[in-house]
Amino acid sequence: MKVAVVGATGMVGEVMLQVLEARNFPITQLLLVASERSVGKTLNFKGQPHTVIGLEAAVAAKPDLALFSAGGQTSLDWAPRFAAVGTTVVDNSSAWRMDKNIPLIVPEINAEVLQPTDKIIANPNCSTIQMLVALGPIHKKYGISRLVISTYQSITGTGVKAVQQLENEYKGASGEMAYPYPIHRNALPHCDVFQEGGYTKEELKLVNETHKILGDDTIGITATAVRIPVVGGHSEAVNVQLKTSFEVIDLQKLLHQSAGVVVQDQPETNTYPMPIYAAGKDAVFVGRIRRDFSQDNTFNIWIVSDNLRKGAATNTIQIAEYLHQKGWI
């Protein structure tokens, strides 16, 4: 299949290429696409050099599949143009997620809503993806009534500029700032842009995307998103109130059996998920599963995943794999 990676020179684009190679995705022709300032650069894929091309040239090539990770405005401007020439677009930006006509997909949870006529498909926010891989099976069995979410998010979610800021601060060097404050030895309760009501876009994504993916607007959800000086992945502490009673051991068993989930929950041996272990892996790691004795039918869970892999590149490619298995691309 002819595949275009749009935003190939960015952090997520680079990881997409790694995941495409690792999963041996069926590619007959690979188009590496980026902005005009990157056209002509050379990137390697499977040991072979590929020259970066522009968006106009990529549309003219009519790829079967385009994996987008080039920012929301680029997706709004160009995804419809790719779709118009018959390309199926899987978009990693926030541009299309809440469009009622565009499916928002975590393959382990709601791939069944996809149709062969879907030409633009949205990849959810990284924090939403990892949370729902863990909580989707629990919602299906028990029903979730409320979520209280606290995230501890990697600087890689912001991009190369944030990584450079942290590296500069480690060295005591001055440089361009991705954040309004230092991130080294700090925690910023500020992910994305503040909105009316005092929540950030990141916090509202956890609310709105969860409702859409699970198909249940009745779940009460509140979130606080925090940026921390970690490179390997996002962590989440989630307080989950269920509609029915449960036993902790049954939750653990269910998660052991759930696709894409690795349970690391042995406090007696200090076994629990951490970003340092999740980095470079595709799974969602869960642990610290324990009853909340202050509320009926409620438990706490700790969820960790590499935000550039399952939270972005891997989920995007898993959507494409599902479409290919169905024979739709």
Q: Show which residues are catalytic.
A: 126, 234
Tokens for 62? 């009519």
d(CA 161, CA 158): 7
Q: What is the DSSP pairing of strand 261-263 with strand 284-291?
A: parallel
Rounded alpha-carbon distances, angstroms, from residue 24 to 16, 43, 225: 12, 18, 35
**Max Cα-Cα span within the chain:** 60
Tokens for 171? 């060295």
Rounded alpha-carbon distances, angstroms, from residue 60 to 20, 92, 216, 247: 23, 22, 40, 56
User: What is the distance of C-alpha 267 from the center of its chain?
Assistant: 28
